[in-house]
Amino acid sequence: AQTVTQSQPEMSVQEAETVTLSCTYDTSENNYYLFWYKQPPSRQMILVIRQEAYKQQNATENRFSVNFQKAAKSFSLKISDSQLGDTAMYFCALGAGSQGNLIFGKGTKLSVKP
């Protein structure tokens, strides 16, 4: 079975500081993809960052970067220079099937405080 676990239901960070959100996953597949999605109150899921499992280099997108530890099946998201607009739910997701459907964790509610 494929699972995604986010062990931090809520996190908070001061504006301009750095925060790390944790995610672990389980899959028996060798070739898969990992994603972090942001969901603001508007409900629309927005892709933050994407990692291909066969790539050793950690993905980065501006202030967002990941720490991908394949052997440990860990995929954490680091947000640098946090901004008020980063306040949202963050979901870690695994894409391991042949169809491309995603398995999501339960999410982490991030609050950025001024």
Partner 1 sequence: GAGVSQTPSNKVTEKGKYVELRCDPISGHTALYWYRQSLGQGPEFLIYFQGTGAADDSGLPNDRFFAVRPEGSVSTLKIQRTERGDSAVYLCASSLTGRGTEAFFGQGTRLTVV
Binding site for partner 1 (CB under 8 A): 4, 33, 37, 42-47, 50, 52, 91, 93, 95, 97-107
Query: What are the b/e assignments for 73-91, b being 16+ CB within 10 Å?
Result: bebbbbbeebeeebbbbbb
For the bound state, the minimum distance from the C-beta of residue 21 to partner 1, rounded and expressed in Å, comes to 13
Tokens matching residue 64: 């967002």
Rounded Cα distance between 94 and 102, Å, is 5
For the bound state, the minimum distance from the C-beta of residue 16 to partner 1, rounded and expressed in Å, comes to 29
Rounded CA Rg of the chain: 14
Q: Give the residue with the Cβ less far from partner 1, 42 or 114.
A: 42
Q: Give the residue with the Cβ less far from partner 1, 15 or 26.
A: 26
Q: Give the residue with the Cβ less far from partner 1, 44 or 114.
A: 44
For the bound state, the minimum distance from the C-beta of residue 32 to partner 1, rounded and expressed in Å, comes to 9
For the bound state, the minimum distance from the C-beta of residue 77 to partner 1, rounded and expressed in Å, comes to 15
Handedness of CA 84, 44, 11, 75 (dihedral sign): negative
